[in-house]
Every structure is written in structure tokens, then in C-alpha cells.
Structure 1
Amino acid sequence: MKNYLKLVVVFAAGLLLQNCTSDDREIIIDNPPPSGDYANGVFVLNEGGYTSSNASVSFIDDSGEVYNDIFYAVNGRLLGDVAQSMAFYEDKAYIVVNNSNTIEVVNRYTFELITTIENDILTPRYMTFDGDKGYITNWGDPADTTDDYVAVLDTETNVVIKTIPVAEGPEAILNNNGTLYVSHYGGWGYGNTISVLDAVSESVTSTIAVYDVPGDMVIHNNDLYVLCSGKANYTGDETLGGIQKINMVTNQVTDEIVFASGVHPGYLQIDNNALLYTLNREIYRVDFSDFTLPTAPLFSTISQNVGVLYGFKIIEGDIYIADAKDYVSNGEALVYNLQGQFKKNYNVKLIPNGFYNNN
């Protein structure tokens, strides 16, 4: 969940879910894959309903079989409240559980629980690694604009050893050879900066001004590309969205694509020589050789009846789309090729939001 309004929407949906009696609420334990583990496939993170503590993980193996609720199946307990993201380090998977204020550490192949990280974790969002340390963005108390930070984790002990204060609403975090870039989506507010952190000194070394509500970031050559959604109309202070190109040597914006008023893109991915971004239920392509606003989408998901495009990832030449439906029904994972041709869909669990390749 990306801001306060979405929290309210999903919370309301969660109340509906708590009052429903459909089979969507049942936990059906799948048998593990024939190999006995969860290698060679894609994890689907299912956010679950806000305050419902029904987050889960699905696994799509390379043969196309789907295994739902694998954390529960292996460990005999629920994952928690709002699964936000997942990150891999060596043979471990770190599952960031936002509203439970925890990070569940499991073996990425067996999914057996190793430990739960709770200390110095408060409203965690995303995670990356440098050397033997992990770096986790935290909103802190979302109502407090001054307590946000990046937690530094010792991956040997899985203990937070330091916190680095940053601006409000740290979201995505990327590592470029020991330089960490943090987009400030804004938490319950609206951010407009990128923090640059040095992994050696574990301090903020620079701040880059960008358009409002920066989220996804990707790296191509020596440039950082940042997707900024802009403030939406419902804020009463609508602003323009854009994709900005930042030279990572100078930390200066060198080029940009500006969207029209009222146009607010959602997610950003990279495919070799192009950027792909989402706008509502459509996907657009921008070639690096022609960094201009496309006139037409690459493809639309409307014909597959996607309700809410809630996750977007390119994995091994395929585009994965998460459909959150109506936030109260179980979702779907849809797969397209890079030309936008639909290939297959998979039934997963409540509010899928991300895909993680375990090949």
C-alpha cells in the first residue's frame, strides 16, 4: 500500500472480507512441489487485507503449477499483516511484513522459517543488500514526518545494528556498487526527493529533487531512471508525473519525460534497451534511444478483465501482472510476452502485489 488513501480503501475492503463467508478466506494447504522445495519458479507475494493478518506467498513452478499459502504450509502459522515486499540474500528470503512491523526470514528454497526480525523495524517497506548488510526502508510512525529511517541489518545475525535517519516516506531502495538510492514516495504524505546513501559511512551524502511521489527506480548504464506518479486529483493539489533520468556520477537530472495533467503512471520496469511503465491497466514502452512520451500503449490488460493492476515485473523475458481484483476477492497473476501477447493466468491469493524469481 502506497499512501494513506490506499490504506483507507484496503482497510474498508478488509472489513468486507472479514464479514464475508466465501471460500476465499479458507486456507487450503497445498502439497509441496515434487522436488520437495521451492526452487525454479516465481514467488507471488499476496499482500492480504489491511489489519486482517492474512498475507501469504504463492509459488508458480517452472511447469506452471501454483502452490498457495506456502509460508503457512511449511511453518504452520500465518505470515502476518500486509506483506509488502521480498528480497533475497544468498539462500535466504526476507519477507517484509509492513503492518506487523516484522521481517520473516526463511530459507528461499524450503521456505522454512529461520527467524523473525522485530527490533528496530517500524512500518518497513523495501530492502536491498550490500556486502553482508541489508538496508530496509522504514516509515516509522506514518503520522510522524520526522522519524523515518533506513535500518542497517547484519545478515549473519539478522539483527539491526544501526538506523540512518532520512526524509519522510522512504520507499524503493537500489544499490549501485555501494551507493544506495532511496525514493521518498512520502508515506502518508507526498515526497519529492531521492536520498543518496553511502554504504561505507552509512550516511546520507546527497539529496536529489524530483517530481512528486517518486516510486520505482531502475538503473541503466550510469543512469538512474525514476518514475514519479505526481499528486493525484483527489489530493486537491494535483501535480504532474514524469520519468526522470539522473546521472549517477553527478546526481543531476539530465533528461525527463513529463506526463500530461491528470495522467499518473504506476510502476516501472526495465527490459534491456527500453523502459516499460504502467498507466491504469495499460503498459507503455519507452526506448532508451528515443526517450520520449509514447503515443500508444504496448498493450492493454482490459481484454483479460484485469480489475486493479497492482504489481508489475519482467522476469526472464515475460511480463508478470498482478490483478488485485476488487481487494476482497482472491487475485490473479497474468503473464504476457514482451510484445504484449497474453500467455497464461494463475489463481493466487488476496491482493497480489509482487513477483520474485527464484531460478
Structure 2
Amino acid sequence: MKTSFYKCISMLFILFVISISCTSEDRDYIAPLPEGDYSQGVFILNEGGYGYSNASVSFLDVDGQDYSSIFSGVNQMTLGDVAQSIGLYGDNAYIVVNNSATIEIVNRYTFEYITTVSSDIMNPRYIAFEGNKGYITNWGDPNNVADDYVAVLNLETHLVEDKIPVVEGPEKLLIYDGTLYVAHKGGYGWGHTISVIDLLTKNVTSSIPVGDVPDDMLIDDGKLYVISSGKGDYTLDETPGMLHKINISDNSIEKTLTFPEKRHPRFLDINNEMLYYTIDNEVYTISTDDFVLSETPLFSPEDDGLDLLYGFKIHNDIIYLADAKDYVSKGAVFMYNLRGLLQNTFLVQIIPNSFYFNNI
């Protein structure tokens, strides 16, 4: 009995020491993932055909299972006409539907409908977030070059509380250190600037000249990289594509690369100090240090059956490509490693255009 008693005392002492040594200050707390059918995976936005109201969202989960039309499947309602982009922020997903002139807000983990924003929204394009505000680029009336703006959405009330006037054709936007950068492709015209907006005053403080039709941009290590397609030959006023490296401390252009004649880049992303960009159906790379255009592509997805490269993103060392096919058939997704070797491909819905990553 005495031996058993001391054994019990010893065990209690050991448990006490363990409980003291494993406090919350000494170990990392791993928060549980949010619950919902779409808590982990990739959203693929399918814009659908113009005028057909057949926009949709597909989903690829972490086990490699793909699902179609999750918005309508969950909510028993259509998404709308021409889904342009998605913004993920907080617990919500904000789906920008261009031709329907709406922002459809859903829970990003369950995809259950929350509300629709339609007031003070006109031809919306893209959305970015800061604090409790969402900033949405709007073309306004595409035939009016003077009514374009960035709508300021209150994320708590879901109301547009302000508009920031900008020049024609605002498209993609990003926020860095209290500053909003807006690329102007030009709407029905041809833009060639980046607006710089102070979010505190909501004023355009400067305009950075870039190449015609700035398609994509990103910020890395204090530099703003902007890729511009240039005007195509169909405009009868063809201009070259360009890639700019801009110092965001003073908005000065450090270097400009001009693409060869008839070569019009479109998408841009970065991974480990390497820029990846696309021309037609090919993927190229360029070092942010050397900053010299590549003469040969990293890989050509056409060899694997891709018909029309329409969306591009890199995440967790995987290159995602959207294939719009012929704009009326089901589109496809192609996934590659960073060496350009095909990892996976699957069908989605009509005209896939972009990828959004949820907890992966």
C-alpha cells in the first residue's frame, strides 16, 4: 500500500510538471479550420457567355475532387451574367458580376448566400479590401469616358458609401500600405496609366504612365510590376507590349522592357523572385534581379490540349491555367509544376477566367 501511495504521488507530480511546462505561451495554438463544404480548396470562376446569365463557380478540394456550379447548387439561384472576379476577405466571398451589375456576397466556407449589392454599382470589374471597406472598380457607362469610378463598399452595412472618380476603364487593383493602385485598360477605349489613390483622403495623388492596355500587376519587395498587352493589330493602331518595374517609394519607373513586334503579353504572377507571364498560349519566366525578357517559353500548354489561355495564377508552386476553349463549350483547368510538367487537368463550366485559394 505504501509503495502504491508513493507511485501515485510521483505520477501526480509528473503530470503537474507537464501541465506547467506546456502552457499556451510555450506551444503554438493551431486554430481549427472553419466548417463548411468549401473550407479548403480552389474556387474557379466561370464568367459564362455574355447575355446568357450562365456564370458559375467551380471548386477543387484538397483531395483533388472537383465540383461544378456550387453557387447555384447551394442557393438554388443563378449567379448572373458575366462573373468578372472574386474577392475573399474575412468570412465572405464577394463575387463581382459585371453585366448584371451586382456584387453577390456569400460565406466563403459554405457558399451560402448573404446579400446582393446592386445600388451604386455599374459595370463592376474587380475588388480589393482594406479595413472594413471594399474597393470596386466600375466602368460606369462604357460609352461615357468621364463617369468611371471606384466604389467604396462598407463591409458591415453592405452599402456603397462613396465613389472615387477615376479616368476611363479602371480594371485590376491592389492595395499596399494605405495606397490603392488602379490599372486603366481603357474600357471601350485604350488606357495606359496606373492611378495612385490615397485611401485616407480618397484622392488620386498621381498617375503612372505605362504601356497601352495594362492587363496585370503585382507588388514585390517595394516594386510595382505592370504588364501591358499593347494594342492588337485588329485595332489598326498596333502598339508593343511592355513590362514595367516601378519603385513605389516615389512611383518612378526603374526599367521598362518592350516586347517584340506582334507579341502581346497578358497575365503576370510571381514565385520565389521569378516573374511568370503569358503570351498567347505560352508561359515565360523572368528574374526580378536580371529583369531581361525570355527568348523561349518555359512551356507550351497547347502540347497538352489547351486551346485558349484565359486565366493564370501560381499558388503553392503550382501553375493554374484556365482554358476557355471556344467560349461556348465547357472550359478546362490545367495544373503544372514550376518546371512546366502537367500535374492535373479537369473540365469546368463556360469560360473559366480566374482562381481563388481558400485556406490552402
Same fold flag (TM > 0.5): yes
Match of 1:213 in 2: 213
Match of 2:31 in 1: none
Match of 1:302 in 2: 302
Residue type at the aligned position of 2:124: P
Decide whether the 8 Å contact of 2:36 with 2:109 is kept in 1: no
Match of 2:15 in 1: none
Give the secondary structure class of the aligned counterpart of 2:71: helix
Q: Does 1:55 align with 2:55?
A: yes
Residue type at the aligned position of 1:159: L
Match of 1:149 in 2: 149
Give the secondary structure class of the aligned counterpart of 1:197: strand
Distance 1:155 1:223 in 2: 29
Shift of 1:347: 1.1
Within 5 Å, give how 1:1-40 maps onto structure 2.
36-40=36-40
Residue type at the aligned position of 2:294: P
Summarize deviations over 1:96-134 as a string: whole Å, max 9, x none. 000000000000000001100000100000010111111
Residue type at the aligned position of 1:352: P
Match of 1:311 in 2: 311
Within 5 Å, give how 1:154-303 maps onto structure 2.
154-303=154-303
Match of 1:128 in 2: 128
Match of 1:28 in 2: none
Distance 2:179 2:107 in 1: 27
Shift of 1:316: 1.2
Give the secondary structure class of the aligned counterpart of 2:265: coil
Which consecutive unaligned segments of at least 5 residues does structure 2 have?
A: 1-34
Q: Does 1:111 align with 2:114?
A: no
Residue type at the aligned position of 1:349: Q
Summarize deviations over 1:254-294 as a string: whole Å, max 9, x none. 11211011110011111121110000110000011210111
Residue type at the aligned position of 2:343: K
Give the secondary structure class of the aligned counterpart of 2:200: coil
Residue type at the aligned position of 2:296: A
Match of 2:67 in 1: 67
Which consecutive unaligned segments of at least 5 residues does structure 1 have?
A: 1-34
Give the secondary structure class of the aligned counterpart of 2:266: coil
Residue type at the aligned position of 1:333: V
Q: CA RMSD in A?
A: 0.8
Shift of 1:310: 0.2
Residue type at the aligned position of 1:313: K
Structure 1 residue ranges (4+ consecutive) displaced by more than 4 angstroms after TM superposition = none
Identical residues among aligned pairs (%): 55
Distance 1:127 1:178 in 2: 15
- Bigger CA radius of gyration: 2
Summarize deviations over 1:2-47 as a string: whole Å, max 9, x none. xxxxxxxxxxxxxxxxxxxxxxxxxxxxxxxxx7510110000000
Summarize deviations over 1:210-231 as a string: whole Å, max 9, x none. 1100121011111100000000
Residue type at the aligned position of 1:133: K
Decide whether the 8 Å contact of 2:105 with 2:116 is kept in 1: yes
Summarize deviations over 1:290-340 as a string: whole Å, max 9, x none. 101111101110111111100000011100000000001000011001111
Residue type at the aligned position of 1:211: G
Question: Structure 1 length as normaliser, TM-score?
Answer: 0.90
Decide whether the 8 Å contact of 2:182 with 2:195 is kept in 1: yes
Question: Structure 2 length as normaliser, TM-score?
Answer: 0.89
Give the secondary structure class of the aligned counterpart of 2:162: strand
Aligned length: 325
Give the secondary structure class of the aligned counterpart of 1:299: coil
Give the secondary structure class of the aligned counterpart of 1:266: strand
